[in-house]
A and B are shown apart, each in its own frame.
Chain A
Amino acid sequence: MKKMAIALLGFAGIVSFSAQAQMKPEDAIKLRQSAMKLIGYNFGSIGAMVNDKKPYNKDEAIRNASRVDALSTQPFEFFIAGTDKGETKAKAEIWKDSDKFKAAAEKMQGEVAKLAQVARTGDMAALKAQVGTTGSACKACHDDFREK
Chain B
Amino acid sequence: MTSVVKVWDLPVRLFHWSLVVLIVFSVTSGKLGGNWMEWHLRSGYCILALVLFRIVWGLTGSQTARFSDFVHGPKRVLGYARSLLGGATPFHAGHNPTGGLMIVLMLILLLVQTTTGLFADDDIATRGPLADKASGAIVSLFTTIHRININVILACVALHICAALFYLTVKKDNLIKAMITGTKAIPDDHPAPSLSGHAPAVIIIAVAAAFVVWLVKFYPR
Note all chain A residues with C-beta closer than 8 A to B148.
Answer: 148
Is A135 within 8 A of B147, CB to CB?
Answer: no
Is A131 within 8 A of B32, CB to CB?
Answer: no
A117 at the interface (CB under 8 A from B): no
Is B126 within 8 A of A47, CB to CB?
Answer: yes
Note all chain B residues with C-beta closer than 8 A to A10.
Answer: none
Is B125 within 8 A of A43, CB to CB?
Answer: yes
Q: Provide the bound-state CA to CA distance between A134 and B125, in Å.
A: 10
> A127-148 interface mask toward B, CB cutoff 8 Å, 1 = contact, 0 = none?
0110111111011001000001
Which of A43, A48, A135 has the most chain B CB within a 10 Å cutoff? A135
Is A132 within 8 A of B34, CB to CB?
Answer: yes
Residue of B nearest to A48 (CB): B125
Is B125 within 8 A of A131, CB to CB?
Answer: yes
Q: B129 to chain A: closest CB distance in Å?
A: 10
Is A51 within 8 A of B124, CB to CB?
Answer: no
Is B124 within 8 A of A139, CB to CB?
Answer: yes
Residue of B nearest to A52 (CB): B38
A122 at the interface (CB under 8 A from B): no
Is B123 within 8 A of A40, CB to CB?
Answer: yes
Is A128 within 8 A of B35, CB to CB?
Answer: yes
Given A40-B123, A44-B125, A142-B123: A129 in contact with B35 (beta carbons within 8 A): yes
Note all chain B residues with C-beta closer than 8 A to A139.
Answer: 33-34, 122, 124
Note all chain B residues with C-beta closer than 8 A to A51.
Answer: 38
Q: A138 to chain B: closest CB distance in Å?
A: 5
Chain A contributes a number of interface residues (CB within 8 A of B) equal to 20
Q: A104 to chain B: closest CB distance in Å?
A: 14
Give the interface size class of chain B: 10 to 19
B144 at the interface (CB under 8 A from A): yes
Q: Provide the bound-state CA to CA distance between A46 and B125, in Å.
A: 8
Residue of A nearest to B125 (CB): A47
Chain A contacts with B in 1-52, Cβ cutoff 8 A: 36, 40, 43-44, 46-48, 51
Is A136 within 8 A of B34, CB to CB?
Answer: yes
Chain B contacts with A in 114-147, Cβ cutoff 8 A: 122-127, 144, 147
Q: Provide the bound-state CA to CA distance between A135 and B33, in Å.
A: 7
Note all chain A residues with C-beta closer than 8 A to B35.
Answer: 128-129, 131-132, 135
B37 at the interface (CB under 8 A from A): yes
Residue of A nearest to B123 (CB): A40
Is B147 within 8 A of A136, CB to CB?
Answer: no
Chain A contacts with B in 42-95, Cβ cutoff 8 A: 43-44, 46-48, 51
Note all chain B residues with C-beta closer than 8 A to A131.
Answer: 34-35, 125
Residue of B nearest to A134 (CB): B34
Note all chain A residues with C-beta closer than 8 A to B34.
Answer: 131-136, 139
10 pairs across A/B with beta carbons < 8 Å? A43-B124, A44-B124, A44-B127, A47-B125, A128-B35, A132-B35, A135-B126, A136-B32, A142-B123, A148-B144
Question: Footprint of A on B, CB under 8 Å?
Answer: 32-38, 122-127, 144, 147-148
Question: Footprint of B on A, CB under 8 Å?
Answer: 36, 40, 43-44, 46-48, 51, 128-129, 131-136, 138-139, 142, 148
- The list of the 6 closest CB pairs from A to B, nearest first, reads A47-B125, A132-B35, A132-B34, A139-B33, A136-B34, A148-B147
